[in-house]
Amino acid sequence: MRKTIAEASSGSASLFLPPVFLPLVSPGHTFQLPSPEEARSACGDPGSFYRLNRTRHFDVVFLASGSLCAPLRDELLQSPLWVLTDILPEGYLFRPVGSPPWKSPSPEEITVAEPDQAKRSLRLSLIAENLIAIGRNGEAATLLELAACSKTGESRRLAVLASLEASRGHWNRAAELARASLGIEDANRTARIILIRALAETGKTDEALDEANTLVHSSEDAETLFLLARAANAAGDHTREISSLRRLVATGKKNNQPVGASLLYLGQALGQDGQRSDALRTLDEAGQAPELTREQKDLVRQLRDHLAPEKESE
**Rounded average pLDDT over 167-184:** 97
Per-residue pLDDT of 218-231, as tens digits, reads 999 999 999 999 99
Per-residue pLDDT band for 309 (boundaries 50, 70, 90) equals low
Residues 104-202, CATH architecture: Alpha Horseshoe (1.25)
Please work out, in degrees rounded to the nearest 5, the angle formed at the alpha carbon of residue 167 by the alpha carbons of 165 and 171. Answer: 50
| 114 touches 143 (CB < 8 A) | no
User: What predicted TM-score, i.e. pTM, was given to this entire model?
Assistant: 0.85
Measured from the Cβ of residue 218, the count of other Cβ atoms closer than 10 Å reads: 10
Per-residue pLDDT band for 6 (boundaries 50, 70, 90) equals confident
Helix extents (H) in the chain: 2-8, 36-44, 46-56, 70-78, 107-113, 117-133, 137-146, 154-167, 171-184, 189-201, 205-218, 222-235, 238-254, 260-272, 276-287, 294-312
Q: Please, which residues have CB within 8 angstroms of residue 292's CB and are 6 or more apart in sequence?
A: 260, 261, 264, 286, 300
Residue 2, pLDDT score: 76
**For the ranges 68-77, 180-189, 303-312, which has the lowest average pLDDT?**
303-312
DSSP 22: G
Domain with CATH 1.25.40 in the chain: 104-202
| 90 touches 1 (CB < 8 A) | yes
